């Protein structure tokens, strides 16, 4: 018995697969997309995967059902419009997974089947990318539990709860609660260009966190000097390098070095002075 073809809003031509030829699937109205999807899914399950006909049916389903992605993504609009393009792309991945796993014989509307896949993919995206500093998944999940517990206890106690109270409510060791609270700081990151404190901002001060947080590491200059010394040491002859190793690597005295080399302590002193002057001059030239 012949089956009727659902109405197509953009033309009645059909492809070699017997499916409607849709010039711009993305412009198909959601109501028409629901009806057309049934025909495309019906053909998709009998077409050979990888063939042009299969790809046409699958790609058309993806484009026709983008309205489901936009609907699901709308739930997350409050997270920030700057990420909406990424959210739509991630939601499309969920849509594709739903298309590949959908079975018409289940007698379930595709929209009802697909939306949980799309939403799940978007939630996974936020869970994995919203943290400014990467922390283990266990601590990411603990952050959510801690937030709920803090809100509950704050309402009940009319004050911020202590670590001990949070631990008792969640039935967790206090160390785990502390670890979770510390990890929460990695959820967002502030700019070093932000004003350094409310009082500073109120006074109109231009001091930022970059001005008051952190300082030069004194060890950095040592690292730079050691890096610059490496090629200069290579320019010394074997005897000079040996003297440097004994004096600064082996921490030998000048007398001990003289005894090792068979020369006087005074001669070792002159040799060291000449070597160090050469190295120092080399660093200053490189700087």
pLDDT at 79: 61
Overall average pLDDT of the 179-204 stretch = 57
Is the predicted pLDDT of residue 67 greater than 50, yes or no? Answer: yes
CA-wise closest residue to 186 among 133, 143, 245: 133
**Residue 66 confidence class, pLDDT cut points 50, 70, 90:** very high
Q: Could you give phi then psi for residue 14, rounded to 5 degrees? A: -120, 160
pLDDT at 4: 40
Mind listing the domains of the chain with CATH numbers? 25-129 (1.20.120.1810), 131-188 (1.10.10.10), 225-286 (1.10.10.10)
Which spans in the chain are helix H?
30-44, 52-64, 66-74, 84-101, 110-129, 137-157, 163-170, 174-184, 198-202, 209-212, 218-234, 238-244, 254-261, 265-286
CA-wise closest residue to 18 among 48, 40, 49: 40
Overall average pLDDT of the 125-153 stretch = 71
C-alpha dist (Å) from residue 160 to 108, 148, 169 = 47, 13, 14
CA-wise closest residue to 166 among 180, 153, 179: 153
Here the tokens at position 131 are 């943290």
Overall average pLDDT of the 203-226 stretch = 57
Is the predicted pLDDT of residue 253 greater than 70, yes or no? Answer: yes
Here the tokens at position 254 are 């000048």
Task: Confirm if 200 and 212 have CB atoms less than 8 A apart.
Answer: no
C-alpha dist (Å) from residue 177 to 127, 147, 149 = 20, 11, 11
Tokens 């090629």 locate to: 231
Highest-scoring range by mean pLDDT, 4-8, 126-130, 218-222:
126-130
């Amino acid at each position: 018995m012949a089956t009727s073809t659902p109405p197509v809003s953009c033309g009645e031509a059909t492809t070699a697969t017997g499916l409607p030829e849709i010039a711009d699937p993305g412009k198909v109205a959601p109501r028409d997309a629901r009806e057309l999807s049934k025909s495309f899914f019906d053909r998709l399950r009998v077409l050979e995967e990888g063939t042009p006909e299969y790809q046409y049916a699958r790609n058309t389903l993806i484009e026709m059902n983008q309205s489901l992605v936009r609907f699901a993504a709308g739930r997350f609009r409050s997270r920030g419009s700057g990420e909406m393009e990424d959210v739509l792309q991630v939601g499309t991945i969920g849509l594709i997974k739903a298309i590949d796993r959908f079975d018409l014989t289940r007698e379930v509307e595709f929209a009802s089947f697909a939306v949980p896949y799309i939403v799940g993919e978007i939630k996974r995206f936020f869970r994995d990318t919203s943290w400014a500093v990467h922390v283990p998944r266990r601590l990411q999940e603990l952050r959510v539990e801690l937030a709920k517990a803090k809100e509950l206890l704050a309402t009940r106690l009319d004050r911020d709860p202590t670590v001990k109270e949070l631990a008792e409510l969640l039935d967790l060791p206090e160390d785990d609660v502390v670890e979770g609270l510390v990890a929460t700081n990695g959820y967002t990151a502030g700019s070093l260009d932000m004003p350094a404190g409310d009082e500073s901002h109120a006074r109109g001060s231009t001091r930022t966190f970059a001005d008051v947080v952190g300082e030069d590491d004194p060890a950095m200059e040592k690292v730079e000097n050691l890096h610059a010394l490496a090629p200069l040491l290579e320019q010394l002859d074997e005897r000079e390098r040996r003297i440097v190793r004994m004096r600064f690597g082996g921490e030998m005295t000048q007398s001990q070095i003289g005894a090792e080399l068979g020369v006087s302590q005074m001669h070792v002193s002159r040799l060291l002075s000449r070597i160090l002057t050469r190295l120092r001059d080399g660093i200053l030239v490189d700087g």
